[in-house]
Structure 1
Amino acid sequence: MTLTVGIIGAGRIGRLHVDNLKGLQQIRIKGVSDVAAKHLEPWAMEKRIEVFTIDYHELLNDPEIQAVFICSPTNTHAAIIKEAAEAGKHIFCEKPVSFSVEETEEALNAVKKAGVKLQVGFNRRFDPSFRKVSKLVQEGEIGLPHILRITSRDPQPPSADYIKDSGGLFMDMTIHDFDMARYVMGSEVVEVFAYGAVLVDSAIGEAGDIDTAVITMKFANGALGVIDNSRRAVYGYDQRLEIFGDKGSAQVNNNRATTVEISTNDHVKKEKPLHFFLERYSQAYMDEVTEFASACLENHEVSCNGFDGLQAERIARAAKRSLETRMPVSLKQAEQPGTHVIR
Structure 2
Amino acid sequence: MIKVGLLGAGRIAGVHATAITSNPASCLAAVSDFIPEQAAKLAEQYGSVVRTTEDIIADDSIDAVLIATSTDTHSDLIEAATAAGKAVLCEKPVDLSLERARACQANAAISGKPVMIGFNRRFDPNFAALKRALDAGEVGKAEMLAITSYDPAPPPIAYIKVSGGIFRDMMIHDFDMANFIMGDAPVHVSAVGSCLVNPAIGDAGDYDTAAVTLTYADGRIATIRNTRRAGYGDQRVELQGSEGMLQVGNLTENLLVKSTTQGVSSAKPVLFFLERYMPAYAAEWNAFVSAIQAGGEMPVTLADGVAALAMAEAATRSAKLGLPVSLADV
Aligned residue number for residue 177 of structure 1: 174
The answer to whether structure 1 residue 330 and structure 2 residue 329 are counterparts is no
Alignment-mate amino acid for residue 14 of structure 1? A
1:221 Cα deviation after fit:
3.2
CA distance in 1, matches of 2:237, 2:38: 40
1:170 Cα deviation after fit:
0.1
Aligned residue number for residue 102 of structure 1: 99
Aligned residue number for residue 340 of structure 1: none
Alignment-mate amino acid for residue 289 of structure 2? A
Per-residue CA deviation, residues 251-286 of structure 1 (Å, 9 max, x unaligned), is 000001222211111121100000211111111000
Alignment-mate amino acid for residue 4 of structure 2? V
State the TM-score, normalizing by the size of structure 2: 0.98
How many residue pairs get aligned? The number is 330
1:185 Cα deviation after fit:
1.2
> Structure 1: where are the runs of 5+ without partners?
336-343
Alignment-mate amino acid for residue 37 of structure 1? P
**What's the C-alpha RMSD, in Å, of the aligned pairs?**
1.1
Q: Percent identity?
A: 41
Work out whether residues 191 and 328 of structure 1, in 8 Å CA contact, stay in contact via their aligned partners in 2: yes
Match of 1:232 among 229, 232, 238: 229
CA distance in 1, matches of 2:274, 2:38: 23
The answer to whether structure 1 residue 62 and structure 2 residue 70 are counterparts is no
Aligned residue number for residue 269 of structure 1: 265
The DSSP-based 3-state class of the residue aligned with 1:110 is helix
Alignment-mate amino acid for residue 24 of structure 1? N
1:44 Cα deviation after fit:
2.0
Q: Residues 296-311 of structure 1: matches in 2 within 5 Å? A: 296-311=292-307
1:38 Cα deviation after fit:
2.7
Aligned residue number for residue 252 of structure 1: 248
1:186 Cα deviation after fit:
1.4
1:220 Cα deviation after fit:
2.9
Aligned residue number for residue 33 of structure 2: 34
Work out whether residues 189 and 213 of structure 2, in 8 Å CA contact, stay in contact via their aligned partners in 1: yes
Per-residue CA deviation, residues 18-74 of structure 1 (Å, 9 max, x unaligned), is 11111111112111110001344244223211x302x20100111100110010000
Alignment-mate amino acid for residue 101 of structure 2? T
Match of 2:291 among 281, 289, 295: 295
Residues 5, 43 of structure 1: CA spacing in aligned structure 2 closer, same or farther, 3 A cutoff?
closer
State the TM-score, normalizing by the size of structure 1: 0.94
Runs of 4+ in structure 1 deviating by more than 6 angstroms, as ranges, are none
CA distance in 2, matches of 1:126, 1:157: 24
Aligned residue number for residue 15 of structure 1: 14
Match of 2:157 among 148, 155, 160: 160
The DSSP-based 3-state class of the residue aligned with 1:81 is helix
1:142 Cα deviation after fit:
1.2
